Amino acid sequence: MSNMNQAMVEKYRNDFLKEVKANVEEGDWVQMCMQCGVCSGSCPFGPYWDHPPQELFMMIRAGKREEVLSSNSMWMCTSCYNCIARCPRELPITHIMHGLAHYADRLGLAPKEQPTRKFANRFWDNLVKKGRVNELKLGVSLYFMNGFIEGIKTAMAAAPLGMGMMKAKRLSPMEYFGGHGVKDSKGLDAILKKARQIEDEKIAKYNS
Protein backbone atom coordinates (compact mmCIF):
# COMPACT_ATOMS: atom_id res chain seq x y z
CA MET A 1 0.00 0.00 0.00
CA SER A 2 1.46 3.35 -1.01
CA ASN A 3 2.05 6.02 1.60
CA MET A 4 -0.50 8.28 -0.04
CA ASN A 5 -3.07 5.52 -0.01
CA GLN A 6 -2.37 4.88 3.68
CA ALA A 7 -2.66 8.58 4.45
CA MET A 8 -6.00 8.81 2.62
CA VAL A 9 -7.41 5.81 4.44
CA GLU A 10 -6.53 7.42 7.74
CA LYS A 11 -7.70 10.88 6.74
CA TYR A 12 -11.16 9.95 5.50
CA ARG A 13 -11.80 6.79 7.52
CA ASN A 14 -15.20 5.59 6.48
CA ASP A 15 -16.21 8.56 4.42
CA PHE A 16 -15.19 7.55 0.92
CA LEU A 17 -17.64 10.01 -0.69
CA LYS A 18 -15.84 12.85 1.08
CA GLU A 19 -12.52 11.51 -0.14
CA VAL A 20 -13.79 11.34 -3.72
CA LYS A 21 -15.23 14.84 -3.53
CA ALA A 22 -11.93 16.26 -2.29
CA ASN A 23 -9.51 14.33 -4.48
CA VAL A 24 -11.13 13.10 -7.66
CA GLU A 25 -11.50 15.43 -10.59
CA GLU A 26 -15.24 16.37 -10.86
CA GLY A 27 -15.73 14.09 -7.82
CA ASP A 28 -18.05 16.54 -6.07
CA TRP A 29 -20.71 15.67 -8.67
CA VAL A 30 -21.05 12.12 -7.35
CA GLN A 31 -23.44 13.23 -4.64
CA MET A 32 -25.81 14.63 -7.29
CA CYS A 33 -26.55 11.20 -8.79
CA MET A 34 -30.18 10.15 -8.31
CA GLN A 35 -29.61 6.55 -9.34
CA CYS A 36 -31.90 6.53 -12.34
CA GLY A 37 -29.55 4.22 -14.22
CA VAL A 38 -29.71 5.94 -17.59
CA CYS A 39 -25.89 6.18 -17.79
CA SER A 40 -25.46 2.45 -17.25
CA GLY A 41 -28.10 1.66 -19.81
CA SER A 42 -26.65 4.09 -22.33
CA CYS A 43 -23.04 2.88 -22.09
CA PRO A 44 -22.07 0.97 -25.24
CA PHE A 45 -19.47 -0.91 -23.19
CA GLY A 46 -21.91 -1.39 -20.35
CA PRO A 47 -22.18 -5.18 -20.67
CA TYR A 48 -18.44 -5.51 -20.14
CA TRP A 49 -18.08 -3.42 -17.02
CA ASP A 50 -18.07 -5.03 -13.58
CA HIS A 51 -19.76 -1.91 -12.26
CA PRO A 52 -21.46 0.59 -14.58
CA PRO A 53 -21.20 4.31 -13.62
CA GLN A 54 -24.33 4.58 -11.53
CA GLU A 55 -23.36 1.48 -9.57
CA LEU A 56 -19.91 2.98 -8.98
CA PHE A 57 -21.58 6.12 -7.62
CA MET A 58 -23.68 4.04 -5.24
CA MET A 59 -20.59 2.09 -4.15
CA ILE A 60 -18.76 5.36 -3.47
CA ARG A 61 -21.60 6.47 -1.23
CA ALA A 62 -21.66 3.08 0.44
CA GLY A 63 -17.96 3.46 1.25
CA LYS A 64 -16.74 0.53 -0.85
CA ARG A 65 -13.32 2.11 -1.27
CA GLU A 66 -11.18 -0.90 -2.20
CA GLU A 67 -13.77 -2.30 -4.59
CA VAL A 68 -14.13 0.98 -6.44
CA LEU A 69 -10.49 1.98 -6.67
CA SER A 70 -9.18 -1.44 -7.64
CA SER A 71 -12.00 -1.98 -10.13
CA ASN A 72 -11.27 -2.05 -13.84
CA SER A 73 -14.66 -0.49 -14.59
CA MET A 74 -13.77 3.17 -14.98
CA TRP A 75 -10.87 2.13 -17.20
CA MET A 76 -13.41 0.76 -19.69
CA CYS A 77 -14.74 4.24 -20.51
CA THR A 78 -14.13 5.17 -24.14
CA SER A 79 -15.32 8.78 -23.76
CA CYS A 80 -18.28 8.40 -26.09
CA TYR A 81 -20.19 10.90 -23.92
CA ASN A 82 -23.53 9.08 -24.28
CA CYS A 83 -23.94 9.15 -20.49
CA ILE A 84 -23.24 12.88 -20.21
CA ALA A 85 -25.68 13.64 -23.01
CA ARG A 86 -28.47 11.68 -21.32
CA CYS A 87 -27.84 12.26 -17.61
CA PRO A 88 -30.93 14.07 -16.27
CA ARG A 89 -28.76 15.91 -13.76
CA GLU A 90 -25.98 16.79 -16.16
CA LEU A 91 -23.27 14.93 -14.25
CA PRO A 92 -19.98 14.95 -16.19
CA ILE A 93 -19.88 11.16 -15.92
CA THR A 94 -17.15 10.60 -18.50
CA HIS A 95 -14.87 13.00 -16.67
CA ILE A 96 -15.67 11.44 -13.31
CA MET A 97 -14.70 8.03 -14.73
CA HIS A 98 -11.34 9.38 -15.88
CA GLY A 99 -10.93 11.21 -12.56
CA LEU A 100 -11.51 7.99 -10.64
CA ALA A 101 -9.12 6.07 -12.86
CA HIS A 102 -6.44 8.68 -12.40
CA TYR A 103 -6.94 8.81 -8.65
CA ALA A 104 -6.74 5.02 -8.38
CA ASP A 105 -3.56 5.07 -10.44
CA ARG A 106 -2.03 7.75 -8.26
CA LEU A 107 -2.79 5.72 -5.15
CA GLY A 108 -1.26 2.65 -6.71
CA LEU A 109 -4.56 0.72 -6.52
CA ALA A 110 -5.38 0.53 -10.23
CA PRO A 111 -5.23 -2.97 -11.70
CA LYS A 112 -1.70 -3.33 -13.09
CA GLU A 113 -2.59 -5.37 -16.17
CA GLN A 114 -5.60 -3.32 -17.21
CA PRO A 115 -4.98 -2.77 -20.95
CA THR A 116 -6.45 0.74 -21.04
CA ARG A 117 -4.13 1.75 -18.23
CA LYS A 118 -1.14 0.24 -20.01
CA PHE A 119 -2.10 2.00 -23.22
CA ALA A 120 -2.63 5.31 -21.43
CA ASN A 121 0.82 5.12 -19.89
CA ARG A 122 2.45 4.25 -23.21
CA PHE A 123 0.53 7.03 -24.95
CA TRP A 124 1.69 9.52 -22.34
CA ASP A 125 5.34 8.42 -22.45
CA ASN A 126 5.26 8.66 -26.22
CA LEU A 127 3.60 12.06 -26.24
CA VAL A 128 5.82 13.87 -23.72
CA LYS A 129 9.02 13.15 -25.67
CA LYS A 130 8.24 15.53 -28.54
CA GLY A 131 4.85 17.03 -27.76
CA ARG A 132 3.36 15.07 -30.67
CA VAL A 133 2.30 11.45 -30.73
CA ASN A 134 4.69 9.31 -32.75
CA GLU A 135 2.16 6.89 -34.17
CA LEU A 136 4.69 4.49 -35.60
CA LYS A 137 6.51 4.05 -32.31
CA LEU A 138 3.26 3.90 -30.36
CA GLY A 139 1.86 1.27 -32.70
CA VAL A 140 4.97 -0.88 -32.64
CA SER A 141 5.24 -0.67 -28.86
CA LEU A 142 1.59 -1.81 -28.60
CA TYR A 143 2.25 -4.77 -30.88
CA PHE A 144 4.97 -5.97 -28.55
CA MET A 145 3.10 -5.10 -25.36
CA ASN A 146 2.23 -8.74 -24.73
CA GLY A 147 5.53 -10.38 -25.74
CA PHE A 148 7.81 -10.76 -28.74
CA ILE A 149 6.09 -13.63 -30.57
CA GLU A 150 2.65 -12.07 -30.34
CA GLY A 151 4.19 -8.77 -31.41
CA ILE A 152 5.57 -10.29 -34.60
CA LYS A 153 2.22 -11.94 -35.35
CA THR A 154 0.29 -8.70 -34.82
CA ALA A 155 2.78 -6.74 -36.87
CA MET A 156 2.53 -9.21 -39.75
CA ALA A 157 -1.24 -9.08 -39.66
CA ALA A 158 -1.18 -5.28 -39.71
CA ALA A 159 1.45 -5.04 -42.46
CA PRO A 160 -1.01 -4.36 -45.34
CA LEU A 161 -2.58 -1.57 -43.30
CA GLY A 162 0.85 -0.04 -42.64
CA MET A 163 1.81 -0.28 -46.31
CA GLY A 164 -1.44 1.39 -47.29
CA MET A 165 -0.86 4.19 -44.83
CA MET A 166 2.65 4.71 -46.17
CA LYS A 167 1.33 4.84 -49.71
CA ALA A 168 -1.25 7.43 -48.67
CA LYS A 169 1.52 9.36 -46.87
CA ARG A 170 -0.22 8.94 -43.52
CA LEU A 171 2.80 7.17 -42.04
CA SER A 172 6.52 7.54 -42.65
CA PRO A 173 9.06 4.84 -41.72
CA MET A 174 11.49 7.68 -41.00
CA GLU A 175 9.37 8.52 -37.95
CA TYR A 176 11.13 5.66 -36.20
CA PHE A 177 14.32 7.72 -36.14
CA GLY A 178 13.51 10.82 -34.17
CA GLY A 179 10.12 11.86 -35.56
CA HIS A 180 8.21 15.14 -35.65
CA GLY A 181 7.51 17.34 -32.64
CA VAL A 182 6.34 20.75 -31.42
CA LYS A 183 8.33 23.85 -32.40
CA ASP A 184 9.05 25.06 -28.88
CA SER A 185 10.37 21.91 -27.24
CA LYS A 186 11.93 23.89 -24.39
CA GLY A 187 8.56 25.46 -23.57
CA LEU A 188 6.96 22.03 -23.58
CA ASP A 189 9.59 20.72 -21.20
CA ALA A 190 8.98 23.63 -18.86
CA ILE A 191 5.21 22.99 -18.84
CA LEU A 192 5.64 19.30 -18.17
CA LYS A 193 8.22 19.96 -15.48
CA LYS A 194 5.90 22.33 -13.68
CA ALA A 195 3.01 19.88 -13.92
CA ARG A 196 5.19 17.07 -12.61
CA GLN A 197 6.33 19.28 -9.74
CA ILE A 198 2.72 20.06 -8.71
CA GLU A 199 1.79 16.39 -8.92
CA ASP A 200 4.86 15.32 -6.92
CA GLU A 201 4.15 17.89 -4.24
CA LYS A 202 0.63 16.53 -3.87
CA ILE A 203 1.94 13.02 -3.38
CA ALA A 204 4.98 14.08 -1.30
CA LYS A 205 2.64 15.56 1.32
CA TYR A 206 1.75 12.03 2.30
CA ASN A 207 5.27 10.63 2.22
CA SER A 208 6.80 12.91 4.85
Cβ of residue 72: shortest distance to other proteins, in angstroms? 16
Distance in angstroms (rounded) separating the CA atoms of residues 79 and 122: 18
Closest to other proteins by CB, 19 or 26: 26
In contact, 97 and 80? CB cutoff 8 Å: no
Cβ of residue 47: shortest distance to other proteins, in angstroms? 6
Q: String of b and e for 154-176 (b: at least 16 CB within 10 Å)? A: beeeeeeebeebeeeeebeeeee
Closest to other proteins by CB, 48 or 124: 48
What is the CA 79 to chain-centroid distance, rounded? 11
Distance in angstroms (rounded) separating the CA atoms of residues 96 and 99: 5
Cβ of residue 77: shortest distance to other proteins, in angstroms? 16
Closest to other proteins by CB, 44 or 147: 44
Closest to other proteins by CB, 85 or 156: 85
Task: Give the per-residue SS3 of 132-161.
Answer: CCCHHHHHHHHHCCCCHHHHHHHHHHHHHH
Cβ of residue 53: shortest distance to other proteins, in angstroms? 10
Closest to other proteins by CB, 83 or 188: 83
Q: What residues line the site for other proteins (CB under 8 A)?
A: 34-38, 40-42, 46-47, 51-52, 54-55, 85-86, 88-90
Cβ of residue 163: shortest distance to other proteins, in angstroms? 39
What is the CA 169 to chain-centroid distance, rounded? 30
